[in-house]
Amino acid sequence: MRHFFKTICLALFAPFIGLFAQAQENTVQSVTSPDGNLILRFELAEGGVPRYSLRYKDKDVIKPSGMGFKLKDGTALVDYFRLVKASQSEKNETWKPVWGEENEIRDHHKELLVELEQTSSKRLMNIRFRVFDHALGFRYEFPQQRNLSYFVITDECTQFAMTGDHIAWWIPGDYDTQEYDYTRSRLSEIRGLMTGSITGNLSQTSFSPTGVQTALMLKSDDGLYINLHEAALVDYPCMHLDLDDKNFVFTSWLTPYPNGDKAYMQSACRTPWRTVIVSDDARDILASRVTLNLNEPCKLEDTSWIKPCKYMGVWWEMITGKSEWSYTYDAPNIHLGQTDYTKLKPHGRHGATTENVKRYIDFASKHGFDALLVEGWNIGWEDWFGNAKDEVFDFVTPYPDFDLPGIRDYAKQKGIKMIMHHETSSSIRNYERRMDEAYRFMKENGYDAVKSGYVGNIIPVGQNHYNQWHVNHYLYAVKKAAEYKIMVNAHEAVRPTGLCRTYPNLIGNESARGSEYQAFGGSKPGHTAILPFTRLIGGPMDYTPGLFENDIKKYNPNNSSWVNTTLCNQLSLYVSMSSPLQMAADLPETYERFMDAFQFIKDVEVDWDRSWYLEAEPMEYVTVARKAKGKDLWFVGGTNGEQPRISVINLNFLPAGKYVAIIYQDGKDAHYKENPQNYVISTKKVSPKTKLKIWTAAGGGYAISIRPQ
């Protein structure tokens, strides 16, 4: 009888048991990249905890990793979820960027959208995954809902669980700056190396002994290259990564407001994309366009006014200390609209004088440059920094020795466009209330591009460069500039996340340790061989290459800094670090000493039809070939790190035909410290079958220009 009853019970409940098992099974979802190599797996683990994992060619990349948020009301969106719906789709299309490394970009991905409901609160949270060949992107989306209308995020709980103690190329996590040299170490070594990696900056706020910044480059012992970053950072704080160095798990760490809140949200809303790029070939990391593909298409109806350009500037002489931004030493402080500069004695070291600027215009015009930047042209530089001063600049009033109308007209006669400089001294409110007037002033005087700066601690005091409010400010400035048809090159702003696709008037950013640090004590020789794997993953950098004089004492006897590269390394950067805005940063009189090498800077293009990544290893070497947009011209840049090596490249990217290559390479005795200006220029007939072997020095490199014979 007992056996009969048990049989009846099993028969009655079997369908329900089966349905329960099926429901649990259906919480596991997976999607594969178009080439089949990358597999994303999503699941609701025990307790309704959302987790994802990632595999590449049967190797684990990301182990099961937690997801979700903690909220200020004491609740959390990390567990007790049920799967409402899962849907998959595929997209395969191409689009044309306004400028960039290719004239056409393919967006081919498979998508998984999981729609979740938290059973305890009835709150809705969706997670959208997109899987590309070599890359994953995912973001959180919150539909409009009564149970989650306005909410405050105190922590994002997204994890990236690594499979082991990987090698990492990292800079310290910081709420205010990315201007650090990179450190190469094991993940387990970050804690012990953190203090020594934090070098001085005019504004910096570190947060953790194991906190690092994205884009983070990693390499596993089984040969996988992994890059962690974010895309489409809009109305949300910048993400850092905090490492659990016992278990090798990174957790997202958002830049906070002064009160500790991370993000103020209003549904319907969404987060930026979290990105993982992976391959067993380092070149695929450089070739990935996932950051751009995860951004919205261009929102500007007319982009004809956006023009990539090469420029020079009255800048390096101030950076080195040869001259100054300020005009006088007489005033203890400056009051905008009250201080009468005509009654103050000039100190004689001002760089932005009419005479000096015209000298630069003459040189730039003679050698075919497009534009000239002038810093220190406007009043206020005497007390611009470190005083928490609100009204520090007005962006429209020149110093007495800078004839703005005269220079405007002179530059126009010479075919040179002037680039405006707006240093804000991080006084955000002052810049925003003066922005329309400043942009109108630019257009009235023929300035189509602006270099903006955010040096120093943010005003209001207590804010940081990378929190939600300031992320919104940087985009506000770009969108406002677009209304006036102005291109923006923002320095000290949050690092790029591909927004240049949506707003291509954002033609440049600094947001990393640029070449100015070569006058501040120098950078590591491998610095420009790691930047393409890190900072440049989000967008082009206004790195300001072209430094031909290594000994800064020759410009300023009180500055003993040294440029830690060879001259040919500097030439290589115009190709290996692609940007639609490239500067020849050194002084005209220095270029006149090396006119044969300077020819490459004159010849090289700044906008491209196609790019090929020929060699790559993080911080060791990067070799890239590119075809000029709309022209039968090709350029190659080989940037080397600290160890000398022989670069071997095939020219099979060339179409059938015969060509002439001009090769600029390190001389046999070249060395970034001992003999940096030793170089050799040769001309060689080449074809697509040609294989070149080029020796590169420590801190060296080479550049090649190729044209049809």
Stretch (H or E) spanning 60? strand 59-66
Alpha-carbon distance of 494 to 497, in angstroms, equals 9
Both tokens of residue 504? Answer: 């291509």
Per DSSP bridges, beta strands 167-170 and 183-186 are antiparallel
Alpha-carbon distance of 397 to 332, in angstroms, equals 19
The DSSP code sequence of 7-24 is: HHHHHHHHHHHHHHHHHH
Answer left, alpha or beta for residue 267, where phi above 0 means left and psi between -120 and 50 means alpha.
beta
The arrangement of strands across the sheet holding 239-244 comes to 29-32, 38-45, 49-56, 59-66, 159-161, 249-254, 239-244, 211-213
Alpha-carbon distance of 385 to 425, in angstroms, equals 6
Angle, in degrees to the nearest 10, between helices 404-413 and 354-366: 10
The DSSP code sequence of 62-112 is: EEEEE--EEETTS-EESSSEEEEEEEEEEEEEEE--SSSS-S-EEEEEEEE
Answer left, alpha or beta for residue 132, where phi above 0 means left and psi between -120 and 50 means alpha.
beta
CA dihedral sign, ordered 280, 283, 286, 292: negative
Angle, in degrees to the nearest 10, between helices 595-603 and 567-576: 0
Tokens 């899962």 correspond to: 86
- For residue 274, give every residue at least 6 positions away whose Cβ sits within 8 Å of its Cβ, in sequence order, or none: 137, 138, 139, 158, 228, 230, 239, 252
Q: Is 637 helix (H, G, I), strand (E, B) or coil?
A: strand
Check if the beta carbon of residue 158 is closer than 8 Å to that of residue 67. Answer: yes
**Among all residues, which ones are annotated catalytic?**
516
Both tokens of residue 69? Answer: 């948020």
Check if the beta carbon of residue 562 is closer than 8 Å to that of residue 320. Answer: no
CA angle 271, 43, 140 (to 5 degrees): 5
Angle, in degrees to the nearest 10, between helices 468-483 and 428-444: 10
DSSP state of 300: -
Alpha-carbon distance of 593 to 570, in angstroms, equals 15
Tokens 């934090």 correspond to: 198
Nearest to 194 by CA among 205, 177, 178, 208: 208
Both tokens of residue 321? Answer: 């200390």
Alpha-carbon distance of 197 to 210, in angstroms, equals 11
Alpha-carbon distances, residue 391 vs 282, 423, 427 (angstroms): 47, 12, 8
Both tokens of residue 438? Answer: 């400043």
Alpha-helix runs per DSSP H in 484-612: 527-530, 567-576, 588-591, 595-603
Alpha-carbon distances, residue 199 vs 178, 205, 535, 703 (angstroms): 11, 12, 18, 32
Nearest to 401 by CA among 325, 317, 320: 325
